[in-house]
Amino acid sequence: MGWVLPRVFLAATIFGLGACATKPAPNDQLALAEYNEANDPFEPTNRFFYRVNDGIDTYALRPVAVAYRAVVPGAVRRPIHNVLANMSSPVIFANDVIQTRPQRAGTTMMRFLINSTAGVGGLFDVATDLGYPSHDADFGETLALWGVGADPFLFLPVLGPSNPRDLSGFAGNVVLDPLTWASFGGSATLGYSRYVLTAVDTRERNIDLIDSIKKTALDPYATFRSLYRQNRAAEIEKVRADDKTTVPAWFSR
Amino acid sequence: MSLITRRAVLLTSASALLMSAIPLRAWAQADRSAEANRFIAQFGDQLVGIVNADEPLARKRQQMQPLVEQALAVDEIGTFVLGRYWRIATPAQQQRFLRLFHAILVNTITEKLGDFRGVAFRLTQTTMRDGDYLVGTLISRPNQQPNNAQWVVSFQSGRPMIIDVLAEGTSLRLTQRSDYAAFISRNNNNVDALLDALERQAAA
């Protein structure tokens, strides 16, 4: 896939899609407010990549996800999802720690230990029933807690809605993930199958949601843009507010 | 009574009123918060009762419609959703917009809920924001991850009404406004283009 992206970028530049959205005149206050709220100066380019991704999704990813749902029963899909989630525990833990959220880090650690053992290598999510519910953490969030803003909006080929911060966060996550550096006898098969499976699993879980957005939205691109930004802001706010520290019982005695 | 004493009396009574108004306001807020909770609990119970009943979809939607219309401040939501184009729109366009928006909103909600089965919900936490109450609920369905939804309840009209729903932190009316605004601005700021599109949506 490595060489596809530069080519698409090249095509975009050739076709002049590097153009910027026109900023409204400064005397049109309300139009200006709307422009700032959307925060999307690269809208033409972004919309181009939205169409590219939408094409990939319609003709490849969604059909695969629909087939996955039809062929693989839920009783099998769930353990697969659990294994994938368990594999991402170390990178969530790393982010919990550098976000200085000890309680969240402890929860992630317990989840990983319990689900890897009692949960038979992550097949079953026993930890949630034991009072350790799952949460996500990524390096984009970490950067946000460090004060990095979310501007401007980017719609990236393959990766979808993002912004410079979350894109760096994505790279940071790959670096922080121990599985990136693990060598499985020099074979990359496990690494790739994990990414592919994660993509299919995530898409399968969102079939109904995305279908209904595409059906009801008049401008799906603008709707996804708004949802992405709001959802990220809410997630970041959740982490910011969740700064409980737990002192172990034996320590306070 | 001399002027001075009268003024003193007035001042004392005024300050007494002010003093008593402070705990009164706190009391009114606590009361309203409980009222907002009751309102959502009742609305939720009624909806869940219809949704979980063993009846055809058309019948369920028919039963849900008056309930949704009564609980939602549709006109307020509509005005918010049209955003800055509300002011640009002519009175006739505003009327047409509200009529279409009303039909589409109620349709979307009853259609979406109509597909659900075995829904259960419980209230979580109620907070205040900009004078409105955010009533948190956890909605669960069999074999599905439970969802968090916050119902934004406003007392602007004198009685509690829903003016927005926050699903996992995303505001439905804000998302809708982005959608409509983008559509209008990509159609040369023509409000009629939106109205025609909504007309097609309502007919579908």
CB B137 within 8 A of CB B123: yes
On whether any CB of chain B is under 8 Å from the CB of A227, the answer is: yes
3-class DSSP state of A160: strand
3-class DSSP state of A154: strand
User: Between chains, do A216 and B83 touch, taking CB under 8 Å as contact?
Assistant: no
What integer pLDDT is reported at residue B10 of this predicted model? Answer: 63
Q: Which residues of B touch A (CB under 8 A)?
A: 83-84, 87, 108, 112, 143, 168-171, 174-175, 178-183, 185-186, 194, 197, 201
Please say if the pLDDT value at position A114 is more than 90: yes
What integer pLDDT is reported at residue B190 of this predicted model? Answer: 94
What integer pLDDT is reported at residue B61 of this predicted model? Answer: 86
Q: Secondary structure of chain B in the HEC alphabet?
A: CCHHHHHHHHHHHHHHHHHHHHHHHHHHHHHHHHHHHHHHHHHHHHHHHHHHCCCCHHHHHHHHHHHHHHHECHHHHHHHHHCCHHHHCCHHHHHHHHHHHHHHHHHHHHHHHHCCCCCEEEEEEEEEECCEEEEEEEEECCCCCCEEEEEEEECCCCCCEEEEEEECCEEHHHHHHHHHHHHHHCCCCCHHHHHHHHHHHHHC
What integer pLDDT is reported at residue A60 of this predicted model? Answer: 94
What integer pLDDT is reported at residue B108 of this predicted model? Answer: 85
CB A169 within 8 A of CB A138: yes
Closest chain A residue to the Cα of B115, Cα to Cα? A208
What integer pLDDT is reported at residue A187 of this predicted model? Answer: 74
Top-ranked range on mean pLDDT: pick from A63-72, A150-159, B29-38 = A63-72
User: Rounded to whole angstroms, what are the CA distances from A179 to A190, A192, B52?
Assistant: 9, 11, 45
> Alpha-carbon distance A253 to A247, whole Å?
10
In this complex, the residue of B169, B180, B182 whose CB is nearest that of residue A230 is: B169
Nearest Cα neighbor of B181 from A240, A37, A191 is A37
What integer pLDDT is reported at residue A6 of this predicted model? Answer: 47
Rounded to the nearest angstrom, the gap between the alpha carbon of residue B20 and the centroid of all alpha carbons in its chain is 32
Q: Taking residues A136-163, what's their average pLDDT?
A: 93
User: Between chains, do A34 and B185 touch, taking CB under 8 Å as contact?
Assistant: yes
Residues 6+ apart with CB under 8 A from A154: A42, A46, A161, A162, A163, A164, A167
Top-ranked range on mean pLDDT: pick from A45-54, A177-186, A244-253, B63-72 = A45-54
What integer pLDDT is reported at residue B163 of this predicted model? Answer: 95
Cβ contacts of A40 on chain B, cutoff 8 Å: none
Matching residue, tokens 């609305």: B43
In this complex, the residue of B143, B175, B183 whose CB is nearest that of residue A227 is: B175
Tokens of B132: 């409105």
Q: Which tens digits make up the pLDDT trace of B55-78?
A: 888 888 888 889 988 999 999 999
Q: Which tens digits make up the pLDDT trace of B110-152?
A: 887 777 788 888 999 999 988 899 999 998 888 777 888 999 9
| Cβ atoms < 10 Å from Cβ of A144 | 23
CB A155 within 8 A of CB A46: yes
CB A223 within 8 A of CB A209: no
Q: Which tens digits make up the pLDDT trace of B92-113?
A: 999 999 999 999 988 888 887 7
User: Between chains, do B186 and A38 touch, taking CB under 8 Å as contact?
Assistant: no
Rounded to the nearest angstrom, the gap between the alpha carbon of residue B190 and the centroid of all alpha carbons in its chain is 27
Closest chain A residue to the Cα of B172, Cα to Cα? A227
What integer pLDDT is reported at residue A2 of this predicted model? Answer: 42
Tokens of A170: 């994505």
> Alpha-carbon distance A201 to A194, whole Å?
10
Please say if the pLDDT value at position A230 is more than 70: yes
CA dihedral B56, B62, B65, B67 (to 10 degrees): -80
pTM, two decimals, is: 0.83
User: Rounded to whole angstroms, what are the CA distances from A151 to A20, B169, B192?
Assistant: 15, 19, 32
Which residue type does A165 have? R
ipTM of the complex: 0.81
Q: Sign of the C-alpha dihedral, residues B124, A232, A228, A147?
A: positive
Which residue type does A135 have? H
What integer pLDDT is reported at residue A5 of this predicted model? Answer: 46
The distance of B95 to chain A (nearest Cα, Å) reads 20
Tell me the DSSP string of A83-152: HHHHHTHHHHHHHHHHTT-HHHHHHHHHHHHHHHHTTTTTTS-HHHHTT-------HHHHHHHTT---PS
